[in-house]
Structure 1
Amino acid sequence: MRTRKIVLPLLLVVLAFSACNTGQKFEINGHVADKNLDGEWVYLVPMVNAPVERVDSTQLKNGSFTFTGKVETPEIYIIRTRPFLRLSHQELLVVKEPGTLQVYLGANSKVAGTALNDSLQNWKVQKEIIDNKMLFLNQNLKNADAENQAKINIELEKLRTERAYSSFEFVKNNQDNVVGKMVARIMKGAFTAEQLKELSIE
């Protein structure tokens, strides 16, 4: 009887300890373009389901910041500064997953360090290349004559098709992970009916 009284509390301690240590460790090491922002806050915000208690934050010190913790399943997060600083420090999508990430926040933010994040960064780069070409053409469109407007519109349509196809191929190759599912949500409106059908997106 005495042994049972001792064993039961020990078992509860072990179970409590195990519950607190579920998940695997992640670490995000970041730095910012402007080294004079010490004391500013950086936020790690879930892309979906983001009540205040799920938002993490840390202060910049010597132009750097770190987030650490444990994660059970990969999830998309946004790393951001306060609104005014986002004009010069682009928000960044990252996958919170086991491993160590290296993050840079600046005019063109980037992430590297794990397979899903490297994949997400590659998609971001490819999309931004096309987006910048389209931005340039749209700026020229405003002052172009009718003949050149027609030519520019043809080029814009080619770029829209290229961007959609690039994202379609990305989603097709990543349908089983959170990155592919996120890009599918973002780019759904750009896909053709045939592409949506192949991806089983309604």
Structure 2
Amino acid sequence: MKKIIVIALSAFVMSCTGIVGNGFKISGEIKGLPDGTNVFLEKQNVSAAAGVIAVDTVQVKNGKFTFEGKAEEPEIHSVRFDKTQGGFIVVVEKGNINVVINKDSIQLAKVSGTFNNDELTKYNAEMMKIQKRMMAFQNKNMAAMQEAQQKKDTAVMTKLSKEYSGFQEEFTTSNYKYIESNPKSFLSVLLVEGMFNDPQHDIKKIKKYYDGLDADVKNTKPGKSIKTKLDGEKKNSLKK
């Protein structure tokens, strides 16, 4: 009897979600694009210096589109529309992923439905707050900077440059806080991996944040990449 109940419950769950095993489904909604518009799901070509790999192509129908497939682990993909500028990022992972897009601001698509996509939306919202203040600072002080450059007023240029660099420091600090507060987030492991891009990267700091990540996150491709780089740095330091 228990076995029958379990099987029945499993069938009910699958019928509600439409997702089995590692399957994913991206359900998008966008108004204003004609039926038949191609929608491209792409991911970065890690084996090349630049470029992307085409994963799937579907078409808009009645303002909607759907991508389906399998996701062995979370992975960053991008979605773009034919003959339309801009695109947006989505974490392809198992589960139902919902996307609502405004065709006039595609890059601000609202992605939700799975843990890491909810985290992506939350993270982007916080970064956008800093971005808006930075843009406001630029607009307010652009004329003053140009005038200072013409007059070679180093005091003003130094002051404005220092204030502007403060926004970059704020981005960095916010990333560190996010990693510490969200050890299970796939975004955290991506942020840690990105720390290697700094020519003056601090290996001890990278290791600290990596060690604080959840085991499942460490077992992703970027997590394994970080481990390989840290091991390589350790070997190099022992040789010196």
TM-score after normalising by structure 1: 0.70
Letter in 2 for 1:99: G
In 1: Cα distance, 2:56 partner to 2:166 partner: 41
Checking the alignment, whether the CA contact within 8 Å between 1:137 and 1:152 is kept in structure 2 is no
Shift of 1:69: 2.1
1:18 corresponds to: none
Shift of 1:189: 4.9
2:87 corresponds to: 91
User: SS at 1:38's partner residue?
Assistant: coil
2:174 corresponds to: 166
Letter in 2 for 1:117: N
In 1: Cα distance, 2:121 partner to 2:59 partner: 24
Q: How many residues align?
A: 175
Unaligned stretches of 5+ residues in structure 2: 1-19, 47-51, 149-154, 211-225, 231-240
Shift of 1:63: 1.5
Matched, 1:183 2:191: yes
Shift of 1:38: 2.1
1:25 corresponds to: 23
User: SS at 1:45's partner residue?
Assistant: strand
Alpha-carbon distance change, 166 to 92 in structure 1, aligned in 2, over 3 angstroms: same
Matched, 1:199 2:209: yes
2:121 corresponds to: 121
Matched, 1:156 2:141: no
Shift of 1:174: 4.4
Alpha-carbon distance change, 160 to 195 in structure 1, aligned in 2, over 3 angstroms: farther
Alpha-carbon distance change, 187 to 127 in structure 1, aligned in 2, over 3 angstroms: farther
TM-score after normalising by structure 2: 0.61
Unaligned stretches of 5+ residues in structure 1: 1-21
In 2: Cα distance, 1:110 partner to 1:91 partner: 12
In 1: Cα distance, 2:194 partner to 2:109 partner: 19
Shift of 1:48: 4.4
Shift of 1:100: 0.9
After superposition, the C-alpha distances for 1:154-175 in whole angstroms (9 at most, x for unaligned) are: 4323322211111122233445
Shift of 1:148: 6.7
Checking the alignment, whether the CA contact within 8 Å between 1:76 and 1:178 is kept in structure 2 is no
In 1: Cα distance, 2:193 partner to 2:125 partner: 18
2:63 corresponds to: 63
Shift of 1:180: 1.8
User: SS at 2:36's partner residue?
Assistant: coil
Checking the alignment, whether the CA contact within 8 Å between 1:76 and 1:179 is kept in structure 2 is no
Checking the alignment, whether the CA contact within 8 Å between 1:92 and 1:110 is kept in structure 2 is no
After superposition, the C-alpha distances for 1:60-89 in whole angstroms (9 at most, x for unaligned) are: 11221111222222222111223x412xxx
Alpha-carbon distance change, 180 to 57 in structure 1, aligned in 2, over 3 angstroms: same
